[in-house]
Amino acid sequence: MPETRHMITVEILNNDSPVGFPGERYRFFLSDEGYKNARASESRGEVKIRSHAAVSAMTGEETRAFLLALSRLPGSRSSRKAGGGRWIT
């Protein structure tokens, strides 16, 4: 099974697009090959790639550590004190 490496948001430009109708937007999570196909579709004028992000897989433990680090950033919701001096978790 190919690994997900890209997240894109596309806008459908014409009826020649393999998905959707003109004006609609879709988000796809794609392998390298899928992203290559999306770029080809864009070059044919079928879609416009509105945004792209590289996607990285994380294990469960890596995800927990990442979320914990985010929660400790100044100004994050979970780093603010709640009433009575308790921390929101």
Per-position pLDDT tens, the chain of length 89: 568 899 999 999 999 887 889 999 999 999 999 999 999 999 999 999 999 999 887 777 887 888 888 888 887 665 444 444 444 44
CA gap 75, 63 in Å, rounded: 20
pLDDT at site 24:
95
Its pTM surpasses 0.75: no
Angle at 5 (CA atoms; ends 53, 69), nearest 5 degrees: 65
pLDDT at site 78:
52
pLDDT at site 76:
61
Would you tell me how many other CB atoms lie within 10 Å of the CB of residue 89? 6
**What does R_g of the chain's alpha carbons equal in angstroms?**
19
Handedness of CA 44, 50, 53, 57 (dihedral sign): negative
